[in-house]
Structure 1
Amino acid sequence: MTTDRPVPSAPLGTRVVLRYRLPAGYSHPMTDVIGELVSVEPVVAVRTADGRVVQVAPSSVVALKEIAARPIRVSEIRALEHAAAAGWPGLELDWVDGWLVRAGHGFSGRANSATPLGERGTVADPADPAVRARLREWFAARGLPVRLLVPDRLARIPESWPTSDPVLVMGADLANVPVPPEPVPVTVTAQPDAEWMSLYRGGDTPPVARDVLGAVAAGILAFGRIGASGQPPLAIGRAAVTDAPDGRRWVGLSAVEVAPEHRRRGLGTLLCGALLKWARDQAASHAYLQVTEDNLAARAMYRELGFVDHHRYRYASEPVG
């Protein structure tokens, strides 16, 4: 049996339930499969939780419906945050009571914070005065206040500690990210040059910013830009490829900026696509990025690239006095 009805639509990379007709001879006429939508043409393909890819001819599709994303396990949050910490490690890394502590001369929140990345049962409670004192001692020796970066479900934020608005971490399977058409007008270098830095945060950064941007722990960096050499760039971005403890190889996108006069022309999407293509060549299989929840334009762009919500984190600062 065939049908000319179009296949119901759902964004690639989302979790769906697919109902499709079975060939003659089966005990029942149709069945369902739940998983990640990989493609809708020339075949409808869904990747199940065990890694199988079920491919169905469009003419056999009865229904295709987006459903709530699979709950993210705590171990998956911890693994991604390990990769992210290696991709933005600051200039010093250490461990204090199960907290990964980073220092980068005060430049950027991530590079000057403590994150609860120790194995389950090893992360001490910062509300404990002794733990708090050890964290304070480590940061104070570097002229920094105690700042915690606490992802969902990895640790408890002490009561009375002021917190920031949540930051959304988005993730993507690179198999679902579209490859930009060739040729791509993106230049990729291993370090940020003066022209790249001129667009980053409006060019208003301290000298240490270049060192923090150029740091990676056991990984590979790339700095992409769109624009002619010798001219101010139209768009920039940073990509860091690092490994997570669970064996996944991640690329983290950060510092993605488009010159104000060139926004809403697709340059951000083109730049990110080129950096993700570079990451595939470095054997990365997954991608992540961090974006503030109120940055709706950026979130929409990343969803078009195949990113979905993974988890959130907040900063918490030790109260003064």
Structure 2
Amino acid sequence: MTTDGPAGAPGTAIPLGTRVVVRYRLPAGYSHRVTDVIGELVSMEPAVAVRTAEKKLVQIAPNTVVALKALSARPIRTAEIRSLEHAAAAGWPGLEQAWIDGWFLRAGGGFTGRANSATPLGPRGTVADPADPEVRARLHGWFADRGLPLLLLLPERLAPIPAGGVPGKQVQVMAADLDNVPLPPGPGPVAISPEPDADWLALYRGGNFPDVAGAVLGAVAAGTLGFGRIGARGTAPIAIGRVAVTDAPDGRRWAGLSAVEVSAEHRRQGVGTLLSGSLLGWGRELGATHAYVQIETGNIASRELYAGLGFVDHHRYGYVTEPVG
């Protein structure tokens, strides 16, 4: 069997969740000797299993595989970006929300950009241009009434950067089909609660956050939250994480990971993978079919962790401060 990695290097291991093409031999009696199947790689043993775009699981005996090659990720449609962003906004909605001119506005006391920004989530053709002085005034006024600056959160392809806007932090959104994520058979050492306790909060950002952070962390719109920890209650946890299970307009139910932190002395030991997998397993028990995580570009360690769980790049978004002039 020939295997080619993402860069085309023979013999390179291909991570589960990668989009692949498998060529394999057919039994005697078929009109042709070999055939191909394209889809996401689910397993390599005891059978090579590929899930097609139609969700059909094709299982292939390893001794019949002629070649297995990684492909570039399936193109993501604009509608899929908008739909995932809806679920993500519901999973981190801040403390106040409003719709203005096709923009979804969130305010959360200034804690985190996601919870204090405007993002273009209205249906196609309904999102007003923020460079329009009247639109900009309405957006600016809503945030100003709450003592906040106007901050735009712009997912790629949903709206252009307005003229004069100042680009800021960039974020990579990674996503996975939970059928392709290797989840732990049970919670194991991970305890999941509906709200964070004092020890959980002590590890989150080293305990360095404003008072409003607890309320922002505990907010969800029409969804369910779980706060995971590894470590007995009453003791300092060695790892923490948050998962929000929310629905998207296209019918998918998403499990969104955030606030995953591992104490310094326990990093690079698989703890983050165990915690994340357990949180996603909990989300799947609530009906989640897909998962996402939002990672600042440049955070290579987190990207590697989630790629190892089967996550792939979905889209990016960036922050833009109020246009000048």
Deviations 1:162-207 (A, max 9, x none): 1123210000111111122556111111011111110111101111
Deviations 1:36-90 (A, max 9, x none): 1112111112122222222211111110000100100000000000000000000
Matched residue of 1:198: which SS? helix
* Counterpart-to-counterpart distance in 1, 2:205 and 2:122: 32
Matched residue of 2:88: which SS? helix
Paired positions, count = 317
TM-score, normalised to structure 1, is 0.96
**Structure 2 equivalent of residue 232 of structure 1:** 236
1:176 aligns to 2:154 (yes or no): no
**Structure 1 equivalent of residue 189 of structure 2:** 185
**Structure 2 equivalent of residue 85 of structure 1:** 89
Pick one of 303, 308, 311 that aligns with 1:307: 311
1:158 aligns to 2:162 (yes or no): yes
1:56 aligns to 2:57 (yes or no): no
1:26 aligns to 2:30 (yes or no): yes
Q: Kindly provide the amino acid, as one letter, of the partner of residue 202 in structure 1.
A: G
Give the C-alpha shift of residue 273 in structure 1: 1.0
**Structure 2 equivalent of residue 105 of structure 1:** 109
C-alpha distance 177-168 of structure 1, shift in aligned 2 (>3 A): same
Contact kept in structure 1, 2:163 and 2:323, CA below 8 Å: no
Pick one of 36, 41, 50 that aligns with 1:37: 41
* Counterpart-to-counterpart distance in 1, 2:288 and 2:162: 36
TM-score, normalised to structure 2, is 0.94
- Percent of aligned pairs with the same amino acid: 68
Unaligned stretches of 5+ residues in structure 2: 4-10
Give the C-alpha shift of residue 6 in structure 1: 7.7
Pick one of 298, 316, 322 that aligns with 1:318: 322
* Counterpart-to-counterpart distance in 1, 2:197 and 2:92: 18
Contact kept in structure 1, 2:2 and 2:67, CA below 8 Å: no
* Counterpart-to-counterpart distance in 1, 2:255 and 2:274: 16
Give 1:222-261 correspondences, 5 Å limit: 222-261=226-265
Give the C-alpha shift of residue 254 in structure 1: 0.1
Contact kept in structure 1, 2:2 and 2:68, CA below 8 Å: no
Give the C-alpha shift of residue 228 in structure 1: 2.1
Q: Kindly provide the amino acid, as one letter, of the partner of residue 54 in structure 2.
A: D
**Cα RMSD after superposing both structures:** 1.4
1:264 aligns to 2:273 (yes or no): no
1:13 aligns to 2:22 (yes or no): no
* Counterpart-to-counterpart distance in 2, 1:54 and 1:233: 41
Q: Which runs of 4+ in 1 moved over 2 A?
A: 5-9
* Counterpart-to-counterpart distance in 1, 2:247 and 2:78: 17
Unaligned stretches of 5+ residues in structure 1: none
**Structure 2 equivalent of residue 116 of structure 1:** 120
